[in-house]
Amino acid sequence: MTWSDWSWVLPEAFSTFSDDVDMIYYVILWVTGIIFVITEGVLIYFLVRYRHKEGRKATYDHGSSKLEIVWTTATLVVCLALGIVSKGVWDTMKIDVPEGAMEIIVTAQQFEWHVTYPGPDGALGTADDFEVLNQIHAAVDEPVWIHLRATDVLHSLFLPEMRVKQDAVPGKDIPVWFEATATGEYTIGCAELCGIGHTTMNGTLTIHTAADFQAWATAQAQRPRPRP
Amino acid sequence: MSTTEKDIASAVDAGGQHDHHEIPWIRKYVFATDHKMIAKQFMFVSLFFLVVGGALAGMMRFQLGFPGQPMPGAGILPDAMMAPTPNGAIMLPEFYNSLVTMHGTIMIFFAIMPLLVGLFGNLLIPLQIGAEDMAFPRLNMASFWLAVPAGMLMLASFAVEGGAAGAGWTSYAPLSTSGEWTGVYLGQQLWLVSLTILGFSSLIGAVNYITTVINLRAPGMTWFRIPLATWSLFVTAVLILLAIPILAGALIMLLFDQTIGTGFFRPEVGGEPLLWQHLFWFFGHPEVYILILPAMGITSEVLSNRARKPIFGYHSMVLALISIGFLGWIVWGHHMFQSGMNPLLGTSFMISTMAIAVPSAIKTFNWLGTLWKADIHFDVPMLHALSFVSMFIIGGLSGIFMASTPVDIYIHDTYFIVAHLHYVLFGGSLFAIFAGITYWFPKMFGRMMNEPLGKVHFVLTFIFYNLVFFPMHNLGLQGMMRRIYDFTQYDFLQPLQPMNQFITLFAFALITTQLLFVFNFFWSIFKGEKAGNNPWKSNTLEWTVPSPPPHGNFAEMPTVFRGPYEYSSPESDDDFLPQTTPPREGPGPSSGVPEPTPTPEGAEA
Amino acid sequence: MTTITADRAPMAGMKVYHLKLGMWVFLLSEVMFFTGLIGSYVILRFAHPEAFGVPGEVLNVPLTAFNTFVLICSSVTMVKAFAAIEQNDQEGLQKWLLATILLGAFFVGVQAWEYTLLASEGFVPMAESYHAIARGAAEGSEVIGGPLYGATFYTMTGFHGAHVSIGVFCLCFTLYRARKGAYTAGNLGGVEIMGLYWHFVDLVWILLFTIVYLI
Ligand code: HEM
Ligand SMILES: [Cu+2]
Ligand SMILES: [Cu+2]
């Protein structure tokens, strides 16, 4: 174990909105960090300063309405400000799926991820769709729109390096999107307890260059496969 | 006697008998109706469950610290839990899931909740408001004797075919709807039945507490003279009263899904899995406040007493309690940000959650204010109360991270959540329980707990506790999911192995340290230093009666003249001024005057 | 025998006697219990309108309307019982309690009968065997609604029926005590809280009837 294991720095992330998320995280970290240092500091100071000493009586005092009003308002303002800052990023991540994103279907099932691609015609639900298991492939700088589904129980699609997490609910089709900003291999995880094999329900997210992705998709589409 | 008075008298008769005859052994210790005995019964049973819950946690930590390695001594467990190998027994994933589930369930429902509500509610409410007993002593007995079979059913589920429930303490549907998904059939049903019974037990307890506080206050005990411990228990009882029936309804629906095959939460027949989450958390968020409000009350009590100073802002403390009681109902969705609930709702729940952080902050600031210019005595109860305050600060602040929806996307269902909930429930509630037990131990048993031993226990617990749970924040930030049997299955989590091992080792140390408390507890019951009526020089009513108080508590109905926190008042030569001491100037109100005029220096100031 | 209050100064609280206050408090939690059930029903119905039938299609509204009337009558007889004991009229108390018991038991009986009728038409709580057909339709006709309809119907009305049954049971106990002369004009707490419970259960039924049968 090294000191860096105690770090409060977030691991690097590679999606278009990850910087915004991390920024809010660091803002909260600073705000709460300062509050933490002040409150715990005051606490320790009081403990030392006002520890029992023979012959000294505590001050008889019931509080101060002015102080109550000040700290109530201050906390309220800080908390609501954090809420307002958060709202915009949340909407971007969960509501505003960009136009023209590549649509794929990810279906979670005990204990694997079935990923369906539209195939050469670019449309889902047609005969040339193809499916891969436990791997998502996408092109860098291209938005991906995942139709997240489940067949049995709840699962949760977790792409830590993309700052994406969304439960998959049987009977629902939940939109999830991200746009990777760097090529590479990343993690797919399941974050919702889904049964005995939950721990093994992982996979790989591969972000290709646009050309590589095309090549991969073409190769996959041509691969002979049994049609369900 | 007017009609109503006769009504009252006969209604009370129906509630319980107060003859001072020789009480048979079985009525005194087993089927007891005396609130103090019931408090002790709850204490012993829930401390037992605390030990069980701790043991389950220890096994879980072993697996996380040494994934897939044989566990020493685990060979005695059945093969369905630990797979035998030539090198020793290795934990199975289904057993790990049961451990996660049962640890959470037992700690929350069978340890922390009955300690706070069953022990302190029963012990303190009648004593602090000047009542002889609860309004319905026999109902009180029923409350305890329902909790016992509930606990036994919960434990028994480990022994049935398929093992104990394994869908998490939150029991999310559809995983929990059928053994087809988890391999657990009967265990999951026992879990539901047990919690339903326990819910009923809590419910009748709550009816009793509420009635008692409203009806049985001694003359002069106006609402704003009630000690904060009782205030918090009162608000808690209201939350229990209104939240438990929601849970009960949900549990029964889930039980129907499992047994007779209804489809409430089963999507394959058109049911709605998210409905379970909404019902569960509509109960569940009030529940987490049920688990913290009494702890806040205990802390306020100990802090003010050991600081020999009036509590800072008594009124805003009460208002904060009440506003938590209201706001607690509109924030449940913050557990469901990633559940697939409409994201627009997510934003409204974020705003309400940010708002509910405010009363918690107010309370914290008021505790700090209480210490300002105080006269602080570092006895064992005080040390625990102080660590409640400092740990609750951490738990509250980490809540802000998760309340922010975009940040929660990343940390939801990771160890960050585990860290948060242990900072509020162990750092918060459990430290307050230690504070409360050591503080009221003399009242319960007539003897003090051993001070040096208590200090050693406190220091070790405080250090080990932080070494175990603080790094869980870091694990979560690195992306380690919660409820995961073997995190090394993920390449990106493998570097976290040393940290996990570190946590596990200190978790063992933390668990072992608790033996000191157990020893101190039992040793002090028999051998502790004898305590007088009021060893802490406290103001509240429970310290005006003998330790332990006799059946019926108060030989004479106490009359209350002031608020509970008149420490270091100039009106008194000593540094405390009991609620029952008549004001110095002028004659005290004759007994029988229900609302004596408040003294100018009173807490109403 | 000493009591908590009789030989002592008045309490700071105590505007109503314990039992009555306790019953009010308990009823609050009952309100939440039915709120949970009814709320779930409303959510499920909004989310899956196709899973529920049109009023009167599967459920027998006239029969239940009659049964509702019976239950309302039982509230009236309960009021009469309380009024009787307020006048210290022992005979009246027993008579009206008995009437309430009979009406309550009749309500439960009709409900049980209704259940068997519905079940024979495939309207059952079990999702896998649900195949409700319209009332009077031939065997094998089009299935109406879905499993959620059956499950919510039986859960809500069943829990209400259980409350009525428990009420009847407690009323029998009250009647037994009344026959032994346990209540007087000055000591009628037991009758009063029984009445509170009974009226509450009645009120819940009117809500349930409206929501489940009429809307
Ligand atoms: C100061 C204010 C608090 C805030 C803003 C807050 C916020 C939150 C949020 C947003 C979550 C959900 C996180 C997630 O699952 O992604 C959460 C979880 C949790 N909180 Fe808090 N919380 C606060 C105080 C408390 C207190 C006082 C307690 C209890 C004593 C508590 C107990 C819990 C528990 C047990 C969970 C985890 C539930 C589970 O198993 O999923 N929290 N909190
Ligand atoms: Cu999973
Ligand atoms: Cu919550």
Domain residue extents for chain B = 30-527
Asked if B407 lies within 8 A of A172 by C-beta distance, the reply is no
Distance CA A23, CA A30 (A): 11
Distance CA B197, CA B190 (A): 10
DSSP class of B542: G
Atom of ligand 1 nearest to the CA of B170: 40
Across the interface, of B214, B243, B592, the residue whose CB is closest to C21 is: B214
Asked if A187 lies within 8 A of B492 by C-beta distance, the reply is yes
Is B53 a residue whose pLDDT tops 90?
Answer: yes
Please name the residue ranges forming H helices in B404-545. 405-411, 415-424, 431-445, 451-477, 497-527
Question: What residues 545-604 of chain B have any CB closer than 8 A to a CB of chain C?
Answer: 557, 559-560, 591-595
How close does chain A come to B239, measured CA to CA in Å? 24
Starting from the edge strand earliest in sequence, which strands make up the sheet with A203-208, in order?
A135-139, A203-208, A184-190, A155-159, A164-168
**Which residues lie below 8 Å from residue B263, measured CB to CB, with a gap of 6+?**
B257, B269, B270, B271, C127, C147, C148, C151
Is B594 a residue whose pLDDT tops 80?
Answer: no
Q: What helix, strand, coil percent values describe chain B, rounded to 5?
A: 65, 0, 30
Asked if B10 lies within 8 A of C187 by C-beta distance, the reply is yes
pLDDT of residue A226: 56
For chain C, the straight-line distance linking the first and the last C-alpha, in angstroms and rounded, comes to 56
Distance CA C45, CA C112 (A): 25
Is B428 close to ligand 1, i.e. is its CB under 6 Å away? yes
Asked if A24 lies within 8 A of B407 by C-beta distance, the reply is yes
Q: Give the pLDDT band (50/70/90) at residue C14.
A: low
3-class DSSP state of B145: helix
- One DSSP character per residue, B4-25 reads HHHHHHHHHHHH-----SPPPH
10 Å Cβ neighbour count for B235?
Answer: 25
Helix (H) or strand (E) holding A144: strand A143-150
Distance CA A96, CA C95 (A): 69
pLDDT of residue B22: 72
Distance CA B555, CA C102 (A): 49
How close does chain C come to B282, measured CA to CA in Å? 10
Q: Whose CA is nearest to atom 33 of ligand 1?
A: B421
Structural domains for chain A = 18-94 (1.10.287), 102-222 (2.60.40.420)
Cα nearest neighbour of C9 on chain B: B592
Interface check for A80 against chain B (CB to CB < 8 A): the answer is yes
Q: β-strand B88-91 against A143-150: which pairing, if any?
A: unpaired
The CATH superfamily assigned to B30-527 is Cytochrome c oxidase-like, subunit I domain (1.20.210.10)
pLDDT of residue B602: 35
How close does chain B come to A120, measured CA to CA in Å? 30
Q: What is the mean pLDDT of residues B430-457?
A: 97
> What is the overall mean pLDDT for chain B?
91
Q: Residues of chain B with pLDDT > 90: what percent?
A: 84
> What is the overall mean pLDDT for chain A?
93
- Quickly tell me which residue has 């990771």 as its tokens: B414
Task: Give the Å distances, CA to CA, from B474 to A6, A7, B484, B498.
Answer: 6, 6, 16, 13
Q: Whose CA is nearest to atom 12 of ligand 1?
A: B335
Is B218 close to ligand 1, i.e. is its CB under 6 Å away? no
Is B88 a residue whose pLDDT tops 50?
Answer: yes
Is B402 close to ligand 1, i.e. is its CB under 6 Å away? yes
Atom of ligand 1 nearest to the CA of B295: 30
Q: β-strand A143-150 against A112-117: which pairing, if any?
A: unpaired
Pick from A30-34, A201-205, B360-364, B584-588: least confident: B584-588
Is B517 a residue whose pLDDT tops 90?
Answer: yes
Rg for chain B, CA atoms, rounded:
25
- Quickly tell me which residue has 């700690």 as its tokens: B107
Distance CA B362, CA A67 (A): 10
Q: Give the pLDDT band (50/70/90) at residue B349.
A: very high
- One DSSP character per residue, B29-92 reads IIS---HHHHHHHHHHHHHHHHHHHHHHHHHHHHHHHSTTPPPTTGGGS-TTTEEEETTEEEE-
Q: What is the mean pLDDT of residues B537-547?
A: 95
Burial class (CB in 10 A: 0-12, 13-18, 19+), B240: buried
- One DSSP character per residue, B278-327 reads HHHHHHHHHHHHHTTHHHHHHHHHHHHHHTTSPPTTHHHHHHHHHHHHHH
3-class DSSP state of C9: coil
Q: Residues of chain B with pLDDT > 70: what percent?
A: 93
Is B591 a residue whose pLDDT tops 50?
Answer: no
Distance CA B376, CA B532 (A): 22
Is B363 a residue whose pLDDT tops 70?
Answer: yes
pLDDT of residue C15: 72
Distance CA B579, CA B588 (A): 13
pLDDT of residue B496: 95
Which ligand minimizes its atom distance to the CA of B175?
2
- Does residue B67 have a cis bond before it (omega within 30 degrees)? no
Distance CA A123, CA B387 (A): 59
Distance CA B511, CA B349 (A): 37
- Residues B270 and C48 sit within 8 Å (Cβ to Cβ): yes
Q: What is the pLDDT of residues A158-190, one digit of tens each?
A: 999 999 999 999 999 999 999 999 999 999 999
Domain residue extents for chain C = 6-214
**Residue closest to B500 by CA, chosen among B9, B69, B30, B7:** B69
Residue B400 corresponds to which tokens in the numbers above?
Answer: 């802000």
Q: What is the pLDDT of residues A119-150, one digit of tens each?
A: 888 888 888 889 999 999 999 999 999 999 99
Distance CA A8, CA A143 (A): 29
Asked if B369 lies within 8 A of A47 by C-beta distance, the reply is no
How many CB pairs below 8 Å do chains B and C form together? 193
Chains that touch C (3 or more CB pairs under 8 A): B
**Residue closest to B410 by CA, chosen among A14, A7, A163, A205:** A163
- Residues C43 and B275 sit within 8 Å (Cβ to Cβ): yes
How close does chain C come to B6, measured CA to CA in Å? 7
The CATH code that applies to domain C6-214 is 1.20.120.80
Is B359 a residue whose pLDDT tops 90?
Answer: yes
Across the interface, of C33, C155, C188, the residue whose CB is closest to B248 is: C33
- Residues A59 and B369 sit within 8 Å (Cβ to Cβ): no
3-class DSSP state of A206: strand
**Residue closest to C5 by CA, chosen among B483, B4, A93:** B4
Q: Give the pLDDT band (50/70/90) at residue B604.
A: very low
Burial class (CB in 10 A: 0-12, 13-18, 19+), B342: exposed
ipTM reported for the complex, 2 dp: 0.95
Asked if B263 lies within 8 A of C127 by C-beta distance, the reply is yes
Chains that touch A (3 or more CB pairs under 8 A): B
Distance CA A81, CA A127 (A): 50
Is B596 a residue whose pLDDT tops 80?
Answer: no
Is B10 a residue whose pLDDT tops 60?
Answer: no
CA B108–ligand 3 middle distance (angstroms): 14
Distance CA B502, CA B91 (A): 20
Distance CA B94, CA B161 (A): 12
Across the interface, of B207, B272, B275, the residue whose CB is closest to C22 is: B207
Q: Whose CA is nearest to atom 11 of ligand 1?
A: B335
Q: Give the pLDDT band (50/70/90) at residue A225.
A: low
Interface check for A61 against chain B (CB to CB < 8 A): the answer is yes
Residues β-bridged to residue A104: A146
Is B353 close to ligand 1, i.e. is its CB under 6 Å away? yes
Is B292 close to ligand 1, i.e. is its CB under 6 Å away? yes
Question: What residues 28-87 of chain B have any CB closer than 8 A to a CB of chain C?
Answer: none
Task: Give the Å distances, CA to CA, from B552 to B126, B130, B133, B343.
Answer: 10, 10, 6, 56
Asked if A62 lies within 8 A of B358 by C-beta distance, the reply is no
- Quickly tell me which residue has 């000690």 as its tokens: B227
Largest CA distance in chain C: 73
CA A81–ligand 1 middle distance (angstroms): 20
Q: Give the pLDDT band (50/70/90) at residue C11.
A: low
Q: What is the mean pLDDT of residues B293-301?
A: 97
Q: Give the pLDDT band (50/70/90) at residue C4.
A: very low
Residues β-bridged to residue B433: none
Q: Whose CA is nearest to atom 19 of ligand 1?
A: B421
0.80 surpassed by pTM:
yes
Distance CA B124, CA C114 (A): 50
Residue C100 sits at the vertex; the CA angle it makes with C98 and C102, to the nearest 5 degrees, is 70
Residues β-bridged to residue A176: A146
User: Which is more confident, B244 or C9?
Assistant: B244
Query: Which amino acid is it at A117?
Result: Y
Q: Give the pLDDT band (50/70/90) at residue C91.
A: very high
Distance CA C20, CA C204 (A): 19
Q: Give the pLDDT band (50/70/90) at residue C3.
A: very low
Pick from B20-34, B196-210, C181-195: least confident: B20-34
Residue B551 corresponds to which tokens in the numbers above?
Answer: 């059946």
Which residues of chain A have a CB within 8 Å of the CB of B393? 35-36, 39-40
Residues β-bridged to residue A204: A135, A187
Distance CA B93, CA C6 (A): 62
Distance CA C50, CA C58 (A): 14
Distance CA C77, CA B173 (A): 45
pLDDT of residue A49: 95
Task: Give the Å distances, CA to CA, from A164 to A93, A156, B226.
Answer: 8, 10, 49
User: Which is more confident, A108 or C143?
Assistant: A108
- Residues B368 and B386 sit within 8 Å (Cβ to Cβ): no
Which residues of chain A have a CB within 8 Å of the CB of B310? 60-63
CA A155–ligand 2 middle distance (angstroms): 5
- Quickly tell me which residue has 């339903």 as its tokens: B196
Asked if B9 lies within 8 A of C127 by C-beta distance, the reply is no
Interface check for B521 against chain C (CB to CB < 8 A): the answer is no
Ramachandran region of residue C206, left (φ > 0), alpha (ψ -120 to 50) or beta?
alpha
